Amino acid sequence: MITVRNLQKQFDDHLVLRDISLEVPKGEVVAILGPSGSGKTTLLRCLNVLEMPNGGSVTIGGETVEFGGKVTKQDIAKLRSQTGMVFQQHNLFPHFTALENVMEGLVTVKRVPRLKARATAEMFLTKVGLGDKMNLYPFQLSGGQQQRVGIARALAMEPQVMLFDEPTSALDPELVQEVLKVMKELAAEGMTMVVVTHEMRFARSIANRVIFMEGGYIVEEGQPEQVFQSPREERTKQFLQLFE
């Protein structure tokens, strides 16, 4: 479902992604772990070209974009339409209700008629457990509920893969579980997911594969059991010890 080849990203003279290659089969949940500044968010943002990579290629759901040369807006749009993204902060429109927030992309990007968009938005909000909160504005919702609106908004566009960038890190501890629960359900339904997270329990119990990054490289990857119980690399071991 996702193939990344030799991806590179540089900010000024700082090489943030050095040579990233990875494959994510359909239905797999990949957790990306690593210290702050290791390039996790940049990698995720390069997958849907929120950041423009300097080299390498990304293929998602059959759409390939090669970076380094000319990349057209159409190339970017095709890749982006394959992905749904959930950010650390929800980025909801404050003057739109939950329902209107989920409808927005359907109406403006996908040109879905309003009535149909409304029905779709209602379905996805119900799916994330917000069937009774659809007409509330973001400020009337808890952080966890806001994140779930963000998930519904991404899902409503029917992406092939979901990208999560530390979706629970800005939440109060008591609100983390309700968001993880929705993500767990999605994983169980077979959604292909790439999740940047510091939630080790989530990575351990939900992910099919764990990737440990440092300094712009993938240092180690493997099944959660292997990486958590017997990491091959000393750096992985040291990082994981911080969470014990």
- The number of beta carbons lying within 10 Å of the beta carbon of residue 133 is 18
Instruction: Tell me which amino acid residue 77 is.
Output: A
Q: Kindly state the smallest distance separating residue 216's Cβ from ligand ADP, in Å.
A: 7
Q: Kindly state the smallest distance separating residue 17's Cβ from ligand ADP, in Å.
A: 8
Q: Kindly state the smallest distance separating residue 40's Cβ from ligand ADP, in Å.
A: 4
**DSSP secondary structure, 96-132, as one string:** S-HHHHHHHHHHHTS---HHHHHHHHHHHHHHTT-TT
Rg (the chain; Cα; Å): 18
Helix (H) or strand (E) holding 198, with range, is none
- Which chain residues interact with ligand ADP by CB under 6 A? 11, 16, 34, 36-42
Q: How far apart are CA 179 and CA 164, in angstroms?
A: 11
Q: How far apart are CA 79 and CA 167, in angstroms?
A: 22
Q: Which is nearer to ligand ADP, 15 or 123 (CB)?
A: 15
Q: Which is nearer to ligand ADP, 124 or 202 (CB)?
A: 202
User: Hey, what are 187's tokens?
Assistant: 């994983």
On whether the CB atoms of residues 186 and 192 are closer than 8 A, the answer is: no
Q: Which is nearer to ligand ADP, 99 or 218 (CB)?
A: 218
Q: Which is nearer to ligand ADP, 35 or 129 (CB)?
A: 35
- The helix/strand/coil state of 9 is strand
Q: Kindly state the smallest distance separating residue 220's Cβ from ligand ADP, in Å.
A: 15
Q: Which is nearer to ligand ADP, 12 or 244 (CB)?
A: 12
Q: Which is nearer to ligand ADP, 40 or 90 (CB)?
A: 40
User: Hey, what are 94's tokens?
Assistant: 């404050």
Q: Kindly state the smallest distance separating residue 29's Cβ from ligand ADP, in Å.
A: 18
Closest alpha carbon to 213 in 7, 3, 8, 39: 39
Q: Kindly state the smallest distance separating residue 99's Cβ from ligand ADP, in Å.
A: 32
Q: Kindly state the smallest distance separating residue 201's Cβ from ligand ADP, in Å.
A: 20
Q: How far apart are CA 237 and CA 166, in angstroms?
A: 21
Q: How far apart are CA 99 and CA 104, in angstroms?
A: 9
Q: Which is nearer to ligand ADP, 71 or 123 (CB)?
A: 71
